[in-house]
Structure formats: structure tokens, C-alpha cells
Amino acid sequence: MEIPSDIGLSDKVAIVCGGGAEKDGIGNGRAASVLLAQAGAKVLVADKNLNAAQKTADMISEFGGCAEPSEVDVTNEKACKQLATHAMDTYGRIDILDNNVGIAHAGSVVEDDQERWDNLMKVNVTAMFLTSKHIIPEMKKTGGGSIVNISSISALRPRGLTAYSASKGAVIALTRAMAMDHAEDGIRVNCVAPGPVYTPMVYAGGMSEEARERRRVSSPLKLEGYGWDVGHAVVFLTSAWARFITGQVLVVDGGATLTSRPRAGIM
């Protein structure tokens, strides 16, 4: 049996949803876009903020990679259908879908309200349903592909972000169900669950150096995670090296889920 010696992404076509980021920041989607392009893929950077998507495409162009920005609201079904059509018209195929779009807010079910709950579920779960619904049929036309959905360790170890935790748990369940549904189509579906990575989504609202340090030391490795760490996981899962992997959750958290928060009165 021939063992793949190459990552196998040259000339593949990738759609990265949520591929933009604030200014020069490196979020999970931007990192994945850049790293996929470095590995040889043509990247369609989809984001609700066209300027942010353009910045990512420009970063890719700087090292000679191939990328194009696309303004897309992935919570809108018509827009998702147009995204799939645009990719096929431009590149003739779709091999990779990376679903990064997500929002978060704190609060228990008692503290939350239905409007915020519904909006979070629409952005974090429904958007993945809509992009997958319209991109999978196009993937099938050229023999299959790979999908990576971004979840969170909040699905595995809840800590006060109840709606977010519920949505990210749904992402894991959706991933596993999609992996079963589309295995016969040659489509692998996996999930990355990032831990406390330092991304624009985290620090956009302001974060003190003290809080940043607490996050760094919260994991056994005592390292600060970045969008690049999540991006590398996406590249691996979409590559030929992961050809026998589907329906799995790859936790990228420096070991944070191995620890538990101290409880009052318990050593």
C-alpha cells in the first residue's frame, strides 16, 4: 500500500467561512485560510465583512498564494447557495469547507433571553447547516472532499457560557451525523474544539494582561494558544494524512480540558 508522503492539498479548492478578522488580527478562520493557501489550496475567503475577507486574501497574495474574498452572510440560505455557485463558477470544484463563523455571550438559561439564544443558535449552528447543505452536493460532483466544523471546549467543559456551550455541543453532534450521512459520498467531516486561544474574538472587547496570563497558565502546557494552532489542525484534518479520519473531535487546548476548576471547600 502506498503511504501518502505529501499533504495532498495542491490545487484543491477551499471555502473558509468566517475567514476574515479584525484588522491584522489572526483569528481561527484567517489562520486556516493562510495555512491552506500555503499548502497549495485555492481559497475562497467568505466573511460577512468584505474588508476583513479582503485583508486575508491580501495576506495570501503576499506570499504568492491564490485567494479571493467573498462577502457572505452564512445565516442566509440564498447567500449560501450563491456562495457554492460562485465557487463552482470560479474554480470548477469544491474540495474543502471550513466552518468558522461563531459568536458567544455569557449567562445561564435563567439569565439569557430567547432573542439572544435564537440569534446565537442561528449563527453558530444554522449557518453550518446552510453552508453544508449547498456545498456538499457540489463536492460530490468531483468525488468528495473534507469538511471541518469549529466547535469549542465549552461543549466539553461548560464554564458560564450556557447558550454558547449548547451551540458548540450541537456542532459536535452535527459533525458526527454528517460524517455518517456523507461517508458514502467520499466526504469526511470532522470537528476542531479550540480551547483558550488568543484571537480577535477574545480580545476585541478588551482583555487585561492579567486576564491573558491567567488564560495562558490555565492549561498544563502553560502555553498561549493562537489562531495558527487551530489553523494547523484544520489543515491536517483536510489533508491526505487524515484520509482515514472522520466524525472526530480534535481538541486544541494545551490540555485545558484535563484540568478542572477548583471548587470551594474541596482540595
pLDDT tens profile 57-92? 999 999 999 999 999 999 999 999 999 999 999 999
Evaluate if residue 137 carries a pLDDT over 70.
Answer: yes
In percent, the amount of the chain with pLDDT more than 70 equals 96
Evaluate if residue 155 carries a pLDDT over 70.
Answer: yes
pLDDT at 265 (0 to 100) = 35
Contact predicate 74/122, CB 8 Å:
no
Pairwise pLDDT comparison (260 vs 163), residue with the higher score: 163
pLDDT at 181 (0 to 100) = 98
Evaluate if residue 263 carries a pLDDT over 60.
Answer: no
Query: Nine-digit cell at 68?
Result: 479571493
pLDDT tens profile 202-249? 787 777 888 889 888 888 999 999 999 999 999 999 999 999 999 999
pLDDT tens profile 2-53? 667 789 999 999 999 999 998 899 999 999 999 999 999 999 999 999 999 9
Closest listed residue to residue 238, CA positions, set 250, 251, 224, 254:
250
Evaluate if residue 267 carries a pLDDT over 50.
Answer: no
d(CA 24, CA 244) in angstroms, rounded, equals 35
Query: Nine-digit cell at 48?
Result: 460577512
8-25 core/surface letters (b: 16 or more CB in 10 A; e: else) = bbeebbbbbbbbbbbeeb
The residue-averaged pLDDT of 114-133 equals 98
Q: Catalytic residues, which ones?
A: 164
For each of the domains in the chain, give its residue range(s) and CATH number, in order of start.
13-255 (3.40.50.720)
pLDDT at 152 (0 to 100) = 97
Residue 190 confidence class, pLDDT cut points 50, 70, 90: very high
Residue 1 confidence class, pLDDT cut points 50, 70, 90: low
Can you give the pTM of this predicted structure? 0.94
Closest listed residue to residue 143, CA positions, set 7, 12, 234:
12
pLDDT at 200 (0 to 100) = 83
In percent, the amount of the chain with pLDDT more than 90 equals 84
Q: Quote the mean pLDDT of the chain.
A: 93
pLDDT at 16 (0 to 100) = 98
Structural element, H or E, at residue 216 = helix 209-216
SS3 219: coil
Pairwise pLDDT comparison (136 vs 158), residue with the higher score: 136
